[in-house]
Amino acid sequence: MPADKPRQIRLGLFMQGAGHHVSGWRHPQAEFGGENLGLIQRIANTAEQGLFDMLFLADGLASAADMHPSFVVRIEPIALLSALAMSTKHLGLAATASTTYGEPYHVARAFASVDHLSGGRAAWNAVTTSYARSAANFTRGEHPSHDERYAIAEEFLDTVKGLWDSFADDAFPKDKESGVYVRGDRIHTLDHKGKYFSVKGPLNSSRPPQGHPIIIQAGSSLPGQKLAARTADAVFTAQQSLEESKAFCDSLSRLMAEEGRARHTLHVMPGFCPVVGATESEARAEFEKLQSGIDPVAALRLLSDRIGHELSGYNLDEPLPDLPESQALQSRAKLLTQMARRDNMTLRQLSNLVAGARGHRIVWGTPAQIADTMQEWFEAGAADGFNIMPPFFPTQFERFVESVVPELQKRGLFRTAYEGTTLRENLGLERPKNRFFEG
């Protein structure tokens, strides 16, 4: 980002078929369905009208009736992004893919393909897959420990980036006269042999339009932060308080400095669930309506998944019990445990909070009030942007785009037109050089 340009808020839309609030789908205005392409296309268009940087898809590799309704069924993210690339023009297209249950060659290729299909709008959210349930769907067996998952992820990411550099930009003369379609001396064979992966290469994809698709990292534990500081362009994180989010950003800054990276080349985007009302009391009523639809069993199930321990045997009206450290989502478990202790929350209160946005921050208020809190975090260095998590679709998200976005624009905090044609350009990030070829 050139120094003469004011820093601007980044916005992602965290798309989820049945909304983010566990009972959002029950709202009278809610439309839903993880496989409802028409609805998802409309929402993507709304995000693009709102000049959002990107649409973001989470993912999972398991299903069960007791999961969040948005998780039970969902279109495979690469397929869905490829479809959405056809009905959008500027919107970045981000999807989650696992480094624990994938292969570097497949992942490198999939995101290179979305980047080609979309003209440079692909982003990969590299996750280590926190839920052990997924392991049962893959023959590999045991779900690896938290630290081992991050060791695998480090090697996985380096391998993928190496594969993206397989071809020089001028590798394809395609000269009908001489018959030279591709130049062998402009192709690089990676020959990666590491602890977890052996991948020869080259990738069967020319270099993506963005050079490398945008890398997103979404784990907030120390190994997650280190991975982000070294390899990521954006970080999604769950943060409940400005102070903690600021401390998180500062920690990332220090780790980035150790890697020789400038802080402005990474965008930290906490999850943010806005419940927008025309008045404060309307917003509050909307929030309470959502909370009243919560099934306590479903909420406790969500909390159990986030904490990494089965909580169904405990009394809902007592405090969160003492639990050993989990191998699942470490940072989320810590965040929730700290919050419960600090605010003397009962298990019911904590699970109701998680039912709202799975540990992400929920803010209800008028457009100006919501813009206020976003501005406060942004200006305090607690966030570079936000991953917006509407409680349900489409009306709550439409309201955000129609009312909060103009408020941010009026304050000079958000773009009034897309700056470039690729996601990387819109994020103000440079196209990485090919490590094997000049130019």
Residues with Cβ within 8 Å of 79's Cβ and at least 6 positions away in sequence, in order, are: none
Residue 356's region, left for phi above 0, alpha for psi from -120 to 50, else beta, is: alpha
143 marked ligand binding residue: no
Of 110-118, 281-289, 357-365, 412-420: span binding a copy of itself (CB under 8 A): 110-118
What six digits make up the tokens of 388?
């917006």
Residue 270 forms beta bridges with which residues?
A: 237
CB-hemisphere CA count at 13 Å for 38? 1
Rounded to the nearest 10°, the torsion over CA 418, 422, 423, 424 is: -110
**Closest distance of CB 234 from a copy of itself, Å:** 22
96 marked ligand binding residue: yes
Indicate the residue among 124 and 272 with the shorter CB distance to a copy of itself. 124
Strands (DSSP E) contained in 145-262 are 192-193, 198-199, 214-217, 234-237
78 binding a copy of itself? (CB under 8 A): yes
**Closest distance of CB 200 from a copy of itself, Å:** 4
304 binding a copy of itself? (CB under 8 A): no
Cα-Cα-Cα-Cα dihedral sign, residues 57, 62, 63, 66: negative
Of positions 52, 56, 71, 248, contacts a copy of itself by CB under 8 A: 71
Quick check: 41 and 87 in contact, CB under 8 A? Answer: yes
Indicate the residue among 286 and 407 with the shorter CB distance to a copy of itself. 286
301 binding a copy of itself? (CB under 8 A): no
Of positions 75, 273, 354, 389, contacts a copy of itself by CB under 8 A: 75
Helices (H), 210-295: 222-231, 242-258, 280-292
Of 20-28, 248-256, 359-367, 415-423: span binding a copy of itself (CB under 8 A): 20-28
Residues with Cβ within 8 Å of 4's Cβ and at least 6 positions away in sequence, in order, are: none
Of positions 18, 47, 354, 370, contacts a copy of itself by CB under 8 A: 18
Indicate the residue among 138 and 418 with the shorter CB distance to a copy of itself. 138
Of positions 20, 21, 26, 332, contacts a copy of itself by CB under 8 A: 26
What six digits make up the tokens of 214?
């945008």
Name the amino acid, one letter, at 430: E
292 marked ligand binding residue: no
x/- track of binding to a copy of itself for residues 120-159 (CB under 8 A) = ----------------xxxx-x------------------
Of positions 15, 51, 57, 85, contacts a copy of itself by CB under 8 A: 85
Indicate the residue among 4 and 177 with the shorter CB distance to a copy of itself. 177
The three-class DSSP label of residue 429 is coil
Annotated binding site: 59, 96, 146, 150, 220-221
Binding positions for FMN are 59, 96, 146, 150, 220-221
